[in-house]
Amino acid sequence: MNKDKIDLKSLTQEQLEGFLSELGKEKYRVKQILRWIYQRHVTDFEQMTDLAKLFRAQLADRAFVSSWKPEVVETSSDGTRKYLFRLDDGESVEAVRIPMDEDRATLCISTQVGCAMGCQFCMTGTFGLTRNLRPEEIVNQVCAALQDGPVGNIVLMGMGEPLHNLDNVITALNIFYADDGLGYGTRRVTLSTCGLVPEIEELGERVKVKLAVSLNATTDEVRQKLMPINQRYPLVELMNACRLFAQVTRQRVTFEYILIGEINDSLLDAKRLVKLLHGVRCKVNLIAYNEHDGAQFRAPSEEAIKAFQSYLLQRDIVATLRASKGQDISAACGQLKSQVEGKQET
Ligand code: SF4
């Protein structure tokens, strides 16, 4: 039945204004509707009691508001919560709530079912790409998590490469930013990419968002092995795009660097990294590789992590070591999905 109707969660504020003007309604009605949907999580037009009865009936005739509940929730002893959502075509995606302090959390959301990028250290990379998520499917992960507690920051760092689904991601970002809707400031949303160079440039021109780049190596040879995208966009091109993005947006770029034992964790790597980052306004997030059963890589030693971080800090590069949260649940991207689907197959 819903197939002929429009999901209001798929529309930015501007698009919603256009939809309402087709119904002959004034612009300010948008604010009322946004508040019902995103602040009070109401999906039934009948309950939107400050709208006239006739208007509610018109809306119900032409539109609907989708809403998600997680099919599986796993909670770690450190408070990290992982949600698995079932989509209307039977596919599934994950989001992870990571507690930052007592009452604030960061939510990591997915942008595609699977991923085409094939990064070697990532479980999702092994699934291949099934399909892009629609804007409302990106937005609904946030709405569902908000009903489980406040979410201070959003990171597009779950399943999928956001820049490989650029139009839908930009629509979703604009929905996050609507003042009377979810009301996220642009500084509270971070998009993480494996390094699609033309799309990084396009992103900077089309929307405001913080950029994180998954770097993970300091030579093309090693990066190519870890991340096949490097064959298309080698380090020199990637770093130029990042330099430009930082200039155009006047924002620091965050570089994610997964330290993998004896692959990219040497002092020589730290030296090369400093050179690569020259002239880019940035900070570095170091993440120690999380070794698990069947993993093809090793965790770095404590000494290697410390030496790497100190080298960067001594050269005035902001370098934080991100704690790996949710160790006792399927915390790495794609793990919960693979567990649940695995169980279903048996
Ligand atoms: Fe895709 Fe990100 Fe995994 Fe790479 S790390 S395969 S871009 S989901």
Pair 104, 214 in one domain: yes
Asked if 217 and 268 count as a contact pair (C-beta separation under 8 A), the reply is no
Pair 143, 12 in one domain: no
Pair 175, 227 in one domain: yes
Q: Which of 44, 64, 84 is the last residue of a domain?
A: 64
Number of domains in the chain: 2
Among 4-8, 119-123, 135-139, 152-156, which is the least confidently predicted range? 119-123
pLDDT of residue 343 exceeding 70: no
Q: Is residue 239 part of a domain?
A: yes
Q: What is the dihedral of CA 114, 120, 121, 123, to 10 degrees?
A: 30
From the CA of 114, how far away is ligand 1's center (Å)? 9
Q: Is residue 220 part of a domain?
A: yes
Q: Is the CB of 213 under 6 A from ligand 1?
A: no
Can you tell me whether residue 320 is helix, strand or coil? strand
Pair 123, 251 in one domain: yes
From the CA of 166, how far away is ligand 1's center (Å)? 15
Q: Is residue 25 part of a domain?
A: yes
Pair 108, 54 in one domain: no
pLDDT of residue 199 exceeding 70: yes
The domain that holds 180 is classified in CATH as: 3.20.20.70
Pair 95, 126 in one domain: yes
Average pLDDT over residues 302-310: 97
Residues 6+ apart with CB under 8 A from 300: 259, 260, 261, 262, 265, 288, 289, 308
Q: Is residue 52 part of a domain?
A: yes
Asked if 84 and 311 count as a contact pair (C-beta separation under 8 A), the reply is no
State what percent of residues in the chain have pLDDT above 70. 92
Best substitution site from 96, 109, 119, 199 to test ligand 1's pocket, by max atoms within 8 Å of Cβ?
119
Pair 83, 42 in one domain: no
Atom of ligand 1 nearest to the CA of 115: 1
Asked if 119 and 194 count as a contact pair (C-beta separation under 8 A), the reply is yes
Burial class of 250 by CB neighbour count within 10 A (0 to 12, 13 to 18, 19+):
exposed
Q: Is residue 341 part of a domain?
A: yes
Q: Is residue 254 part of a domain?
A: yes
Amino acid found at 164 = H
Pair 212, 260 in one domain: yes
Question: CA–CA separation, 97 vs 78, rounded Å?
Answer: 11
Q: Is residue 172 part of a domain?
A: yes
Pair 240, 104 in one domain: yes
Residue 277: what pLDDT?
97
Q: What is the dihedral of CA 53, 54, 58, 61, to 10 degrees?
A: 70
The domain that holds 38 is classified in CATH as: 1.10.150.530
Supply the range of the domain harboring residue 293: 72-345
Q: Which of 43, 64, 85 is the last residue of a domain?
A: 64
| Beta-strand runs (E) in the chain | 6-7, 63-64, 72-75, 81-86, 92-101, 104-109, 112-114, 129-132, 153-156, 189-193, 210-214, 253-259, 282-288, 319-322
Q: Is residue 1 part of a domain?
A: no
Residue 331: what pLDDT?
47
From the CA of 73, how far away is ligand 1's center (Å)? 22
Pair 144, 26 in one domain: no
